[in-house]
Structure 1
Amino acid sequence: MTARLMRWTGLCAAVPLVLALTGCGGGDDGAKPSAAPPAASSPTPAGSTSADPDASEKTAVLASYTAMWTEQMKAYRKADAKGTDLERYVTAEALGQFRNDLDRMKQAGTVVRGDLAHDDTKVTAVDMDAQTPTATVQDCMDISKWQTYSTKKDQALPMPSAQPRRYVATATAEKWEDGWIITTFTPDGAQAC
């Protein structure tokens, strides 16, 4: 299935802010998602009906979104994507830009410590009739327990005072042959949650 690759501008804007990195590299390393995301939860039991005909698709989108963040946090904690399954959940362009951000973290000698919380994460739109089905995820990102740590200085770096600790982020996804793939992530630091 052919799917358009979209710029991962939101992540590139968020990573420098949160991780004290600079710039947003382009780059498409040509990687392609290699396997399907986790399967959606068990189907609705026989004899019952779902009020939402897209409920199983929404569950699958959220599973891919959650898995993407799990793999990203593994990579951020060591400034290296090796040993993660990130390529299973994002487009090739996004993966290339993500790897560029990790390279900048390595050069700066920074890693992430702490936890990133997600509150009220939900799928706000699904279009299963599109040539390539799409979905939109809205998330409330909470970075209050997330810190940038300098491995060179052996200390936590202060977060910029203007950096909001809780803000809305939106992701888009496409359903490819292998499952739902996250194509964009856009934080909105001006929209608190």
Structure 2
Amino acid sequence: MSDPRDNGPETEPVIRDNRKIDPETGQARSAADEQQPKAAAPVAEGGDAQLLAERTADLQRLQAEYTNYRRRVERDRIAVREQAVAGALSELLPVLDDIGRARDHGELNGGFAKVAESLEAAVTKLGLTSFGQKGDPFDPTVHEALMHSYSSEVTEPTAIEVLQPGYRIGDRVLRPARVAVAEPEDAPAASDED
């Protein structure tokens, strides 16, 4: 006995559409329509090629949007992290100032010295660097002048004393170095006649 599903090698496959609504007309199907096999629809090559091109363009656009979204999220995540670290380190700057003053006065010894070294190592690991040295050329973007004088020993505005070191993370200045500035004596003085 042969299998009723075996249509032989020379016949096309039978496709039975059991949907209750005809997708082409949108009308409800009768019971007689459901029993009739439906032949495969002929493929319109021009329409399919255009549809394929549209879908490919849509997919490429969505992929580019997703890539840009991932980059933006990663950039925002890094910026938020940097802001959080900078905010926490800004709160520790007075403690670092106290440690520096204690070191300058010889009061940094014993267990307190170990704690100070550990704290300084931790903030350095987070990217905090100190700047501002005696003799540095004065730069208003990274220095804050607290005192001003004239001197024959300098050729340009120079930090002659660092009153409080500055701190930065990467290129971001958390606090400018507070310095005493000396300018050359031969600088033209403002006259009262102007």
Which bin holds the TM-score, normalised by the shorter protein?
under 0.3
- Work out which structure has the larger RCO, using CA pairs closer than 8 Å and 6 or more positions apart in sequence: 1
Q: Larger % of helix: which? A: 2
Q: TM-score, normalised by structure 1?
A: 0.20
Structure with the higher strand share, 1 or 2: 1
